[in-house]
A and B are shown apart, each in its own frame.
Chain A
Amino acid sequence: MESPGLLGTLGIDAKLFIAQLVNFSILVLALWKWAYKPLLAKMEEREKKIREGLVFSEDAARMMREMEEEKEQALQRANAEAQLILEHAHARAEAASKERIEAAKREIGRLRDEQTDQLSRERQSVMASIKTDAADLIAGGVRKILSGIEPDVRDRIVKKGIDDLKRSGEL
């Protein structure tokens, strides 16, 4: 019987060796094409999306912080402006109030002066009228008195009266 030799004893067979080589090569290629390649691509895609998402989220958070700061600043500006407007309004209201009080005072003064003048004019008018009436009454009385007296006496009395008046400066 022929000795199988070392390789034969170990079971080395060219056909089996090639078959195992082909089997294993097919396995490597198939797993590379069907498993590793698509899986790695999908994992990279997912990693990229997660990275992009994180960056987007950081950007959004930064933008939100900036908007918050902007809002705070706008509120502060609005508050300051409102305060200013309020102060201006107060000042203007005060000035307007003073002006109106002054105008009212002026009006009151003017009305008082007018009334005083009118009263004075009416008094003078009344006085003049009283004087006229009194003179008429006196003249009437004097005429009646004098009508009963002698013409000489009457003339003398009249003459004396006129002289007295002239002396007193009333004529």
Chain B
Amino acid sequence: MTIPPLAAEPLFHIGSFPVTNAYVNSTIAVAGFLIAALVLKRRITLVPGTLQNAAESVIEFLLGFFDQVTADREKSKRFLPLVATLFLFILVSNWMGLLPGTGSIGRWLMHEGQVELIPIFRPAGSDLNLTLAMALVSVLASHAFGVVTLGFFVHWNRFIQLGTVWKAVVSLKPIAILTALVEFIVGLIELFSEVAKVISLSLRLFGNIFAGEVLITVISGLVSFAVPLPFMALELIVGIVQATVFALLTLVYLTVATSAPHGDEEHAPSPKAAAAH
């Protein structure tokens, strides 16, 4: 029994690019989604078939779910491509990690000085590169949506509140200046929290999937039959929960980023104007 290492193991190299087992899984998942999307695109009709019906059901369910956070169907539709993709991709990747052969079929390769069985497939979420990339996309997208919806200066004034300080200074009220300075410092802290968002999102998913992988490996190493099944069932639930948490947090970031800042609601664009972007 070999405990899976933190880092995904390279199977081979293309030039200097290491093709890892987790990357293989994520690429298979991406390819599967692309093929499904292409097939779906060719079969979209006004009277839906089985595949379109299933896809529409998923979209309707997700939109209804998103509405509870955004409270605005137009916003939900705008965020759907990113958040739904995150949810579906993470869910499928997590569940692919439970398929037979993942973590067990591999190649005997030299790894850290000794010959080990390197699995060809490993859960995609157990590679921090992937979770970090997704978290970065989420946070950057929230800023992009914020800038497009509210405008560049309104959005960045949340973090670097020079406008608020300037207004307070012009008003010549000491209390207002003091409040503006406090808000300026809070804004800078908020800027750091954006980095923390990326780290927390990526580490949460990575930690949960990696821990699940280690747990299944250890339990399977101790008792091969029957006993790992409840843990695998739990991993199915973890897969859904982690996909939901990641997608929902992204949705919250997007919603907050596109909402008018506190005390600036009157300058916020109308939902129709925002949707026009």
Contacts and interface: CB of A to CB of B under 8 A. Distances in A.
Contacts of A31: 33, 37, 81, 84-85
Nearest to B112: A1
A23 B17 contact: no
A13 B85 CA distance: 24
Interface stretch (A37-45, A99-107, A116-124, A143-151): A37-45
A28 B6 CA distance: 27
Contact of A36 (B27, B46, B81, B136): B81
Interface residues of B, number: 44
Interface stretch (B98-106, B127-135, B183-191, B255-263): B127-135
A68 to B, nearest CB: 34
Interface in B15-57: 16-18, 20, 23, 26-27, 30, 33-34, 36-38, 40-41, 44-46, 48, 52, 55-56
Nearest to A7: B128
Interface in B47-97: 48, 52, 55-56, 59-60, 77, 80-82, 84-85, 89
B137 interface: yes
Nearest to B52: A39
Contacts of A21: 133, 136-137
Contacts, number: 115
Contacts of A45: 46
A16 interface: yes
A35 B82 CA distance: 12
Interface in A1-50: 8-13, 15-17, 19-21, 23-28, 30-32, 34-40, 42-43, 45-46, 49
Given A11-B129, A20-B127, A46-B46, A34 B81 contact: no
Interface of B: 5-8, 16-18, 20, 23, 26-27, 30, 33-34, 36-38, 40-41, 44-46, 48, 52, 55-56, 59-60, 77, 80-82, 84-85, 89, 127-130, 132-134, 136-137
Given A35-B37, A46-B46, 14 more contacts: A11-B5, A11-B7, A20-B26, A20-B129, A20-B133, A27-B89, A28-B85, A31-B85, A32-B85, A34-B34, A34-B40, A37-B81, A39-B56, A39-B59
Sorted from nearest, which 8 A-B pairs have the closest CB atoms? A11-B7, A32-B81, A21-B133, A34-B37, A20-B133, A34-B41, A16-B129, A35-B37
